[in-house]
Structure 1
Amino acid sequence: MDHYVRSKTWISNQHGGELLAERTNGKGGNFSYSNEEKQFWQDNPAAYVEYRKGLELELQTLYSKSQRSSDLQRSSRVQYQADMERRLKEKPELLADLLPDFPPLCKRLTPGPGYLEALTSPKVRVITTAIKAIDESGVVTSCGTHRAVDAIVCATGFETNPGGGFPIIGRNGVNLRKKYTQRPESYLGITTNDFPNFFQSLGPNSFQGAGNLLITMEQVHAYVAQILARMAYDNIGIIEAKKSEVRGFTQFCEKYFERTVYSAKCASWYKSSPPGSSLEERKSGRVVALWPGSSLHALQALKKVRWEDYDLQSYDGNEFGCTHPLS
């Protein structure tokens, strides 16, 4: 089997530490809870919350790993490299082809349970030369070598560009996709100017880089619920983030990421660059996918709506419509 590798990346087991290793015999990956465990937690909700909080605590304590100069970042790099060396011990020469020069977390970690071990099989040939063409009988690499194949399996990733997808039209016919293609800007990753009454989950600068994503998604929905409640009961017809606040949040994000490993030079889907950018330009693109902080920071920022950051218009032009008694 010929295995073509396009770029280097950090291969590491998922977070979960000793628990994950114990449940998977050190192989990593997913595992199933027993019926007995499920029944125990159903009968003992407090025990389930304690277990969940334990997992959550481990995630929350990894925040400093995302900071360039932290001790945890340095020790993690040593640990990850040692783990890759161990898993490639049958073909140690592969380490040079797979080990990146950028810090861990610059790109999203790749768990890949069993992946490195599979590459050491005598039946697998790892090829790092770029693919130039594919013809009716095989693959041609940039060095001119032709390798015959019986079948080709593609694993080229997925589209994460915020400028992709179906059109969303705002004021004056502005297409949100086009706006995000040029320079993705948002307010708290939820909304943007010129798109009134529009709120989204996991918009620009909202994905969790450090911590728990699920609890931040829950908080986003609770935040939007606050807005909907006020619109329903305070006679609000239009709510729109101020342009100054959108710009302010975007600038805050850019300044924050300067001190993180996310802004190191690597081709990551966390980043965005103008269409047609070179590989080097993409490596230095703006970090537009991630929240500028930990998930606990996001919970605090999204706890309460700052109404002064929005322009509000009444539903019927009556600014005191909310004072009308219910009939």
Structure 2
Amino acid sequence: MRPNQTLGAHNAEAPKTIAILGAGFSGLCVAIKLKQAGFDSFTLYEKSSKLGGTWLDNTYPGAECDVPSHLYSFSFELNPNWSKRFSNCYEIRAYLEHCATKYDIYQHIEFNTEITHADFDENKGKWSLTRADGQRLTQDVFISALGQLNKPKYPNIPGLDSFKGTLFHSSRWDHDFKLEGKSVAVIGTGASAIQFIPEIAKQVKQLDVYQRSPNWIVPKPDREYSDAEHRHFNRYPALIRLYRRLLYWQFELSFMAFKKDSWLGKRFVKAAETIMGQHITDPALKQKLTPNYQIGCKRVLISNDYYPAMQRDNVALITNTVTKIDAHNVYSGDGTKRAVDAIILGTGFEATDFLSPLQIKGKNHQSLNQAWKDGAEAYLGITLTGFPNFFMLYGPNTNLGHNSIIVMIETQANYIVQCIKTLNEKNLKYLDVRYDVQQRHNQNLQQDLSKRVWASDCSSWYKTETGKITNNWPNTTVNYWWRTRRPNWLDYHAVPQDKNANVHNSQPLGLGPKADLESQPTSKPEQKSINLS
């Protein structure tokens, strides 16, 4: 059915047209949810030639998810055939392709299409999107499914551009480059690096690993699933749901470790120190690999083979800062010059530079860059005041340190679909979250974050240069689900689809005749509520 056939008699206009940026987990999830809700007038704009998002970009040796696959997958599309507990990038992308095929999403995707600008027309209540080729598109609703980890971060090292050997970022892996017999420098030791370093160490002649700060690393409980387990998963789908639920609560309870000075955090430290002690016997190397910050302040990593790789004869761990690079050499702070054939950058992503380089302008031509000049923030990580009918998945302050991000994405997709349903049912021009609601939400959020380990003394991609935590959610996923299970319409201003209406006289949405209006703050008390009943 078309949306205007399923969403009630209030809708006198054509169904809302919807633009979704990105065809990774987030984009596919909201597309599927829209389809299940009866919407068909949506398009996913994907800049690459294939879907997959981060799992299309990150194909380096050893690329795997650090969340068990039965939990790092959609709750509505369980996969009984995961080959092992932590699947690799190719298996995850194959799963996404399966989802796109099963739910008939491919017909909605425009590949090789990059959106560079998005501008909101306040009079029309529509978004004007500009493609990289200059073509302009008009849509009623604009959804970003770009996520937080899509733009590679390149270090500002003098002479980096002058290097004459092979140079690439781990998320842009050069699979044509032959590692055998080469001297290679790896700059950075984050989540990607600890996966590919053990793999390439087996192939290269010499591997120089430049570490800025060490990581807390805990064991990776990985294994292959047996044929018998696959048979049971296929025969009894309820068994997968039970297994997924057990995994979910195991991870959810670990949230306690991310409170400052928690007893569970101390247990994590003990586990990390134990695994290091089992593998690292050289006191000098052990000192280099031991963090001097509270566990959880940076991302906690899981690996069984990183420490053994660090002890290989052909691997050198260098903790002096890289001071410069020339045509063939890497120079470190102690004055040592090391000749290399290739440099691999394991320097992560511009995680706090949300949605860049996309240029977005909302009401009154306000740019997103200006709105976020002090660090990105939003309401529930989904909506942003002054940018009507604009929704985000995996937006500011929705990253997790303890559970599967797919849980967050699904709750966000459900929330967004409810908002779009209301736009249709009530024949609204747009919804815009109230400024006071967003401000209060973020004040409370930052207060909660100040009690978490991410606020302790360390530098991480969770924080801006000024120390504002813009990436992480400070509470449990249960807490987030509860807050986003359905929109509170008093949190939003609405403009009706009235061609004679003054768009500056937007009204806060009401919840119907039974709504307790006195208990809900409004930015303009004299305004009347639109009845949603």
Gaps of 5+ in 2: 1-205, 502-506, 508-528
Read off the aligned partner of 2:215 and give its amino acid letter.
T
Given that residues 270 and 290 in structure 1 are in contact (C-alpha distance below 8 angstroms), is that contact kept between their aligned partners in structure 2? yes
**Distance (whole Å) between structure 2 residues aligned to residue 321 and residue 300 of structure 1:** 24
Which residue of the other structure, out of 372, 380, 383, is the alignment partner of 1:188?
380
| Amino-acid identity (%) | 28
SS of equivalent to 1:199: strand
Are 2:216 and 1:10 aligned? Answer: yes
Which residue of the other structure, out of 473, 476, 480, is the alignment partner of 1:298?
480
In the other structure, the counterpart of 1:106 is: 297
Cα drift, residue 40 of structure 1: 2.4
In the other structure, the counterpart of 1:26 is: none
Read off the aligned partner of 2:419 and give its amino acid letter.
I
Q: Deviations over 1:93-115 (max 9, x none)?
A: 21211211111111111224411
Counterpart mapping for 1:183-262 below 5 A: 183-262=375-454
**Distance (whole Å) between structure 2 residues aligned to residue 315 and residue 70 of structure 1:** 52
Given that residues 212 and 321 in structure 2 are in contact (C-alpha distance below 8 angstroms), is that contact kept between their aligned partners in structure 1? yes
**Distance (whole Å) between structure 2 residues aligned to residue 136 and residue 230 of structure 1:** 59
**Distance (whole Å) between structure 1 residues aligned to residue 325 and residue 216 of structure 2:** 28
SS of equivalent to 1:313: strand
In the other structure, the counterpart of 2:361 is: 169
TM-score by length of 1: 0.85
Are 2:339 and 1:133 aligned? Answer: no
Cα drift, residue 42 of structure 1: 2.3
Which residue of the other structure, out of 237, 240, 243, is the alignment partner of 1:51?
243
SS of equivalent to 2:342: coil
Decide which structure has greater helix share: 1
Given that residues 219 and 275 in structure 2 are in contact (C-alpha distance below 8 angstroms), is that contact kept between their aligned partners in structure 1? no
Given that residues 223 and 303 in structure 1 are in contact (C-alpha distance below 8 angstroms), is that contact kept between their aligned partners in structure 2? yes
**Distance (whole Å) between structure 1 residues aligned to residue 266 and residue 449 of structure 2:** 18
Are 2:294 and 1:88 aligned? Answer: no
Cα drift, residue 34 of structure 1: 4.4
Cα drift, residue 182 of structure 1: 2.6
Q: Could you say if the C-alpha distance between residues 166 and 49 of structure 1 is closer, same or farther in structure 2, counting changes exceeding 3 Å?
A: same
SS of equivalent to 2:219: coil
Which has the higher mean CA deviation after the structures are superposed, 183-192 or 145-154? 145-154
Q: Deviations over 1:197-230 (max 9, x none)?
A: 1110011111123333212211111111111111
Are 2:355 and 1:149 aligned? Answer: no
TM-score by length of 2: 0.53
Cα drift, residue 161 of structure 1: 2.4
**Distance (whole Å) between structure 1 residues aligned to residue 418 and residue 345 of structure 2:** 44
Cα drift, residue 36 of structure 1: 4.4
**Distance (whole Å) between structure 2 residues aligned to residue 112 and residue 44 of structure 1:** 31
Q: Could you say if the C-alpha distance between residues 157 and 238 of structure 1 is closer, same or farther in structure 2, counting changes exceeding 3 Å?
A: same
Which residue of the other structure, out of 128, 138, 159, is the alignment partner of 2:350?
159
In the other structure, the counterpart of 1:28 is: none
Q: Could you say if the C-alpha distance between residues 321 and 185 of structure 1 is closer, same or farther in structure 2, counting changes exceeding 3 Å?
A: closer
Gaps of 5+ in 1: 15-19, 24-31, 274-280
Q: Could you say if the C-alpha distance between residues 128 and 301 of structure 1 is closer, same or farther in structure 2, counting changes exceeding 3 Å?
A: same
SS of equivalent to 2:320: coil
Q: CA RMSD of the aligned region, Å?
A: 2.2
Which residue of the other structure, out of 311, 315, 330, is the alignment partner of 1:124?
315
Q: Could you say if the C-alpha distance between residues 149 and 251 of structure 1 is closer, same or farther in structure 2, counting changes exceeding 3 Å?
A: same
Which residue of the other structure, out of 470, 490, 503, is the alignment partner of 1:308?
490
**Distance (whole Å) between structure 2 residues aligned to residue 264 and residue 63 of structure 1:** 16
**Distance (whole Å) between structure 1 residues aligned to residue 531 and residue 412 of structure 2:** 25
Q: How many residue pairs get matched?
A: 298
Given that residues 452 and 474 in structure 2 are in contact (C-alpha distance below 8 angstroms), is that contact kept between their aligned partners in structure 1? no
Cα drift, residue 132 of structure 1: 0.8
